[in-house]
């Protein structure tokens, strides 16, 4: 009796979400003969021309997009170089102005009277105003040069693209 208890398999309950297994009935799909239609030659030619034209247009668009990509790479490179040049010019101007300020401060320590200090200060202000004007012109000129060098290839490319389309 003890042996029977050890060999019996415990009963397990089915899981709550187990679904009963069943198969869908199989139906045979009837075979219909499709009538053989011959496509008219005009329609075939029209379709072939459409495919050929689509391929040509695809090749043109691919070439134009590659051109545009190259142009943008060149423009970004030019703009990057121009921005670096502009930044270096700003650093140079800052160094020049800082040196001028230190020179003015050292000269100001050597004055012996108030009138001499006013005269030195006025001369320094005039000199710095002229320098700032020249520096502003130089930075403006450099910015215009960079903008033109960056925009000119884009402008030329857009013009040539419109000429090709027209």
Structural domains of the chain, count: 1
Q: What is the pTM of this model?
A: 0.58
**Domain encompassing residue 101:** 52-166
% of the chain surpassing 90 pLDDT = 46
Q: What is the pLDDT of residue 117?
A: 93
Does residue 147 belong to any structural domain of this protein? yes
146 and 75 Cβ atoms separated by less than 8 Å:
no
Does residue 130 belong to any structural domain of this protein? yes
Does residue 10 belong to any structural domain of this protein? no
Task: List pLDDT tens digits, range 23-38.
Answer: 777 777 777 777 777 7
Q: What is the pLDDT of residue 19?
A: 64
C-alpha to C-alpha distance for 15 and 12, rounded to whole angstroms: 9
97 and 127 Cβ atoms separated by less than 8 Å:
no
Task: List pLDDT tens digits, range 62-94.
Answer: 888 888 888 888 888 989 999 999 999 999 999
Coil, strand or helix: which one is 85?
helix
**Closest C-alpha to 107, from 120, 95, 118:** 120
Does residue 18 belong to any structural domain of this protein? no
Alpha helices, DSSP H, located in the chain: 2-7, 41-108, 114-165
53-69 mean pLDDT: 87
């Amino acid at each position: 009796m003890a042996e029977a208890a050890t060999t019996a398999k415990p009963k397990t309950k089915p899981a709550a979400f187990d679904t009963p297994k069943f198969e869908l009935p199989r139906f045979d799909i009837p075979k219909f003969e499709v009538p053989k239609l011959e496509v008219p030659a005009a329609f075939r030619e029209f379709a072939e021309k459409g495919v050929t034209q689509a391929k040509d247009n695809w090749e043109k668009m691919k070439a134009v997009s590659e051109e545009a990509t190259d142009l943008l790479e060149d423009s970004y490179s030019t703009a990057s170089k121009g921005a670096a040049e502009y930044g270096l010019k700003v650093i140079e101007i800052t160094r020049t102005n800082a040196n001028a300020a230190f020179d003015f401060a050292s000269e100001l320590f050597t004055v012996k009277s108030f009138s001499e200090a006013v005269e030195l200060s006025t001369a320094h202000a005039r000199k710095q105003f002229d320098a700032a004007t020249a520096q502003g012109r130089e930075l403006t000129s450099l910015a215009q040069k960079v903008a033109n060098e960056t925009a000119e290839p884009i402008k030329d490319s857009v013009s040539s693209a419109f000429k090709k389309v027209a």
